[in-house]
Amino acid sequence: MPASGPRVVVIGLDSASPWTLNERFRPFTPRLNELLARSVRGTLRTIDPPITVPAWAVMFSGMDPGSLGIYGFRHRRPGTYFDQYVPSSRTLLQPMVWDRLSRLGRRVAVMGMPPGYPPPTVNGVYISDFLTPDGARDFVSPPSLAEEIRTAGGGYTFDVTFRADDRDRIARELLEMTRQHLAVARHLWKKERWDFFALHEIGPDRLHHTFWKYFDPRHPRYEENPKFREVAEQYYRRLDAGIGAWLDEIPDDVRVLVVSDHGSQAMQGCFCINEWLIQQGHLTLKGPRPKPGTPLEEASIDWGKTRAWGAGGYYARIFYNVKGREPEGRLAARDVPEFEAQLTRELQGIRGPDGRPLGVDVRVPKMIYRQVRGDSPDLMVYFANAAWRSAGTLGYDTLYLAENDTGPDDSVHSFDGVYAISDPAQGRGTVGPTERLIDIGPTVLDLLGAPVPPEIQGRPIAGFR
């Protein structure tokens, strides 16, 4: 490409929602506001399921989770009940935008886009993501850049341990991690004339999980705590200042995108999916009720009497115990459709603690994806638009928990994320329609004048070239 070819920068803010970005923290983000004001911006509808790893992969492949073979964070290994794996960059079954651009000889720099470990080889640089194992030395491709990156960042952190009570530590580590990422982004940006540069920042997501109940008075467990409220505001202020310093070094003709993988919302509570399956007679335990908080895999399950079991998380994954597929299968394969229909009806009838319908959405992977590759759950279930988590643990005398069963957590994901695409030709921005997350990668290809293959499912958002 000539030196005057189009260029794109993507700033990926994990978990940024219309409310957090445009309302709650708006007073603390003058530089982002300025960028948004000269962008076409709006709501970015995420995918089923609204989970970080598949969402970013869908965004930058233009393919749905079924085609990618990634359905969330943990995946069950086939032929086992509880053996799980977490997707890696090797799990991806489709090329990403940076792979396609690399093949065209474009120069790309990618920081932290999940799933990004081990870092794939690209025509440029790729730094691995928040799933990078502690102490991994192979976090950047090419590996010769490792020391330079650590020096530029004053260290390089991939994630902070959250769902813990020591919030002062989490606050400190979050600010430092995001500072490092932005310092490295600015360092790499100045190294050469990149055609495509993408940064993923996990910090906002961790901040929301850890501090939501201190900055949102509508949170059901809202706590007045000026120190922690200010942590959240200070985080956004520093994030904004770091992005602003970088924007000062980005020429006006470069397209800048701000995007999120999903939104976030206050967590209303946890629904105990396995307790419910026991009540419905689909899951049977041997012996007495286990103690509260017992993981299902540590309970004594009577598989001969069990038709289905569930897993916890932002949504419930439900698996059927099928003869010939599971080690001690109970359901005949021919009976699965009837069982699925019955279970779906029962799920849709679930009520909340106030006796009113909880609002349950059931998704069948084979019905919503073009194809189902890899290891998908049999059903994906959302409670109250994902405002309620799924608790997989057992031993409760209730179906409803106020707090997360796997550690302190104040927020959950929501289906509405954000997008903004700067428009240098217009020089001023507008509020655009709600767009689809799967269309962002194809839009990037289109902005860069690269072909958008007909076989990918996403399409370029109209009106930007």
Toward Zn ion, which CB reaches closer, 48 or 205?
205
Toward Zn ion, which CB reaches closer, 50 or 119?
50
Q: Please tell me whether residue 406 adopts helix, strand or coil conformation.
A: coil
Q: Which residues contact 46 (CB under 8 A, 6 or more apart)?
A: 55, 261, 262, 263, 413, 415, 416, 417, 437
What is the nearest approach in angstroms of Zn ion to the Cβ of residue 428?
A: 30
Toward Zn ion, which CB reaches closer, 159 or 261?
261
Residue nearest to Zn ion (CB): 52
What is the nearest approach in angstroms of Zn ion to the Cβ of residue 60?
A: 14
Toward Zn ion, which CB reaches closer, 15 or 443?
15
Are 444 and 56 a contacting pair, CB within 8 Å? no
- Write down the residue that tokens 């650590």 correspond to: 150
Toward Zn ion, which CB reaches closer, 42 or 417?
417
159 binds Zn ion (CB under 5 A): no
One DSSP character per residue, 92-123 reads --S--HHHHHHHTT--EEEESPSS-SSPPP-S
Toward Zn ion, which CB reaches closer, 112 or 312?
112
Toward Zn ion, which CB reaches closer, 129 or 378?
129
Q: Please tell me whether residue 391 adopts helix, strand or coil conformation.
A: strand
- Residue 294's CB is within 10 A of a number of other CB atoms, namely 17
What is the nearest approach in angstroms of Zn ion to the Cβ of residue 417?
A: 9
Q: Please tell me whether residue 211 adopts helix, strand or coil conformation.
A: helix
Binding residues for Zn ion, rule CB under 5 A, total 5
What is the nearest approach in angstroms of Zn ion to the Cβ of residue 260?
A: 7
Mark residues 221-240: x for contact with Zn ion by CB under 5 A, - for none: --------------------
Length of the chain as a residue count:
465
Determine if the peptide bond prior to 6 is cis (ω within 30°): no
Segment 174 to 213, residues that bind Zn ion, using CB under 5 A: 205
Binding segment for Zn ion (CB under 5 A), chosen from 50-58, 175-183, 289-297, 346-354, is 50-58
Q: Please tell me whether residue 166 adopts helix, strand or coil conformation.
A: coil
Mark residues 251-290: x for contact with Zn ion by CB under 5 A, - for none: ----------x-----------------------------
Rounded Cα–Cα distance for residues 327 and 76 (Å): 13
Binding segment for Zn ion (CB under 5 A), chosen from 52-60, 96-104, 310-318, 362-370, is 52-60
Toward Zn ion, which CB reaches closer, 52 or 94?
52
Segment 382 to 401, residues that bind Zn ion, using CB under 5 A: none
Rounded Cα–Cα distance for residues 465 and 463 (Å): 6
What is the nearest approach in angstroms of Zn ion to the Cβ of residue 52?
A: 3
What is the nearest approach in angstroms of Zn ion to the Cβ of residue 20?
A: 13
- β-partners of residue 116 are none
Toward Zn ion, which CB reaches closer, 264 or 321?
264
Q: Which residues contact 239 (CB under 8 A, 6 or more apart)?
A: 13, 29, 178, 182, 201, 203, 204
Toward Zn ion, which CB reaches closer, 14 or 423?
14
Among 12, 14, 316, 437, binds Zn ion (CB under 5 A): 14
What is the nearest approach in angstroms of Zn ion to the Cβ of residue 86?
A: 14
Cα 260 to chain centroid, rounded: 9
Question: Cα separations (Å) of 20 from 16, 17, 137, 206?
Answer: 6, 5, 35, 13
What is the nearest approach in angstroms of Zn ion to the Cβ of residue 315?
A: 13
- The H-assigned helical ranges of 200-335 are 203-215, 226-247, 273-279
Among 52, 61, 132, 443, binds Zn ion (CB under 5 A): 52
Retrieve residue 452's tokens.
């958008």
Binding segment for Zn ion (CB under 5 A), chosen from 13-21, 89-97, 149-157, 268-276, is 13-21
Interface with Zn ion (CB under 5 A): 14-15, 52, 205, 261
